[in-house]
Amino acid sequence: MQMPDPDRAILARKDRIVARLHQVLPAHAVISDEAETRAYECDALTAYRCPPLAAVLPTTTQEVSDVLKVCHDEGVPVVPRGAGTSLAGGAMPTADSVILGVARMNDVLETDYDNRFIRVQTGRTNLSVSGAVEEDGFFYAPDPSSQLACAIAGNIAMNSGGAHCLKYGVTTNNLMGVTMVMMDGEVVEIGGAHLDAAGLDLLGVICGSEGQLGVVTEATLRILHKPEGARPVLMGFDSNEVAGQCVSDIIKSGILPVAIEFMDRPCIRATEAFAGAGYPDCEALLIVEVEGSDAEIDAQLERILAIARRHNPVELRESTSAEESARIWLGRKSAFGAMGQINDYMCLDGTIPVSQLPHVLRRIGELSKEYGLDVGNVFHAGDGNMHPLILFDANKPGDLEKCEAFGADILRLCVEVGGCLTGEHGVGIEKRDLMVDQYEPDDLEIQMAIKDVFDPKWLLNPAKVFPLDASATRRIAAE
């Protein structure tokens, strides 16, 4: 993965830049010592690392604005960072950049149950947003797997999803307003406690813009009352095709489960060895969860089970207690850890039309043989968001490159069948150079033109999302 060469003039001005940052921030909020900046050298895409010039940890929108003014004035690239859990390298710095971390901005600013929103500083973690309203029976719906650690700032930057978005939508469907600081330090307010913002849908563009348009410091988020209960059912099938058909039939039946999760045999075996959840040894396994009162859950599951039975399942496991429900989820929730136990892995998140599921799984199996790398599939089947986990050995020369080539082939396959490169993780640096497989040059040009409007000097997270050669003239002109 190539990154642009750092700007030597900026590296040479480090002392002056750090001194100017100190002028606008308390001493403890500026990190410039080489041993300490190392903590910010990567995010969850750990294969790539580079310590930044400095890192700053402001606590207010005003401080964020002051920092951006300094960086704008000095022409220093800024890489915004939430909790650093990006799997796509969205928060990876370059040597000539300043990391702007919002982790210390984690206050709840306003909670309003009558109007069903919460306003928070964006360094707050996803799970602690729900935590702030839980006692009153409410929750914040988007639930990325990293929700214990990931920050709302990163969720907004990547438009994060989660297991339950089949019913509740992803971040963009639950974001009502933001306070955002532009690269030149100007603070703008978009949307708010009302349901739709005036004018063009700027909020829609900002959500998912990977920290390239502005730094979001505060967010108004939709909260919902928790359902009375939820219960999963587990189904095992002897082929991926049949499991895929079952998913399609459930969706077509008119019942909307909150989650439909899918695991294939390699993944089932790995999680069994790791977590011992008691899953059947079969080709494909589905976990379907529905919500409501006990009687409502019974009524929905009755229909779902009737559909499943038509597909001759090798196993149908209902839950009669909270313990049994937890056991059904246990394997799914430990799938990533189980695969990690076997070897290093790379997690992809291409999305495909549900109807293409059997074809894509078969093709991934063939590619796995060609590359000689094992792959397990665990994913959100209801919305076609795949998560192939490719196993490789980071210590074996050439294995990472082979794994990346395999991953790129899978993502091209997703695009080929009518899907996309990334469903919820974002492009970052990881999928940057594959963008040409999904978009024509003009499609990328209009997206880059949007960045021109928000950040004319291309200082915010500049070497991400767009292929380096596509963005080169803009980045160089900005220097």
Partner 1 sequence: MTPEHETEVADMIVGATGALRIQGGGTRDIGALVEGDVLRTSGLSGVTLYEPGALTLVAQAGTPLQDVAATLAAEGQRLAFEPMDHRALLGTSGNSTIGGVVAANVSGPRRIQVGACRDSLLGVRFVDGAGRVLKNGGRVMKNVTGYDLVKLMAGSWGTLGVMTEVSLKVQAVPETEATLVAEGLTAERAVGALSAALGSPFDVSGAAFVSEDGKAFVRLEGLDSSVRYRATQLQSGACQGWSVVEGDKSAALWRDVRDLTALTGGDSTIWRLSVKPTDAPAVLQKLGNPNAVCDWGGGLIWVDVPDELDLRAAVLEVSGHATMVKASEAMRKHVPVFHPEPAPLAALSRDLRAKFDPRGILNPGLMG
Query: Which residues inside 375-414 make contact with partner 1, applying CB under 8 A?
Result: 380, 382-385
478 makes contact with partner 1 (CB under 8 A): no
DSSP string of 414-464? HHHTT-BS-SSS--TTTTGGGHHHHS-HHHHHHHHHHHHHH-TT--BSTTS
Q: Which of residues 453-472 bind partner 1 (CB under 8 A)?
A: 453-454, 465
Integer Cα distance of 161 and 207 in angstroms: 12
111 makes contact with partner 1 (CB under 8 A): no
Q: Which of residues 276-315 bind partner 1 (CB under 8 A)?
A: 292-293, 295-296, 299-300
2 makes contact with partner 1 (CB under 8 A): no
196 makes contact with partner 1 (CB under 8 A): yes
Integer Cα distance of 346 and 357 in angstroms: 20
Give whichever of 78 and 170 is closer to partner 1, judged by the CB atom. 170
Give whichever of 30 and 190 is closer to partner 1, judged by the CB atom. 190
Q: Which of residues 25-64 bind partner 1 (CB under 8 A)?
A: none
Residue 140 main-chain phi, psi, to 5 deg? -100, 125
130 makes contact with partner 1 (CB under 8 A): no
**Residues whose CB falls within 8 Å of the CB of residue 335, separated by 6 or more in sequence, listed in order:** 263, 267, 270, 271, 376, 378, 389
262 makes contact with partner 1 (CB under 8 A): no
135 makes contact with partner 1 (CB under 8 A): no
Q: Is-contact 364 410, C-beta < 8 A? A: yes
192 makes contact with partner 1 (CB under 8 A): yes
182 makes contact with partner 1 (CB under 8 A): yes
Of the residues 3, 47, 305, 354, which one makes contact with partner 1 according to CB under 8 A: 354
Rg of the chain over Cα atoms, rounded to whole angstroms, equals 23
Cα angle, residue 126 at apex, residues 120 and 130 outer, rounded to 5°: 75
446 makes contact with partner 1 (CB under 8 A): yes
436 makes contact with partner 1 (CB under 8 A): no
65 makes contact with partner 1 (CB under 8 A): no
Q: Which of residues 148-167 bind partner 1 (CB under 8 A)?
A: 158-159, 161, 165-166
Integer Cα distance of 406 and 312 in angstroms: 34
- Which residues lie across from 377 on neighbouring strands? 388
Nearest to 72 by CA among 368, 460, 475, 405: 460
Site map 333..352 versus partner 1, x via CB under 8 A: ------------------xx
211 makes contact with partner 1 (CB under 8 A): no
353 makes contact with partner 1 (CB under 8 A): yes
**Residues whose CB falls within 8 Å of the CB of residue 409, separated by 6 or more in sequence, listed in order:** 367
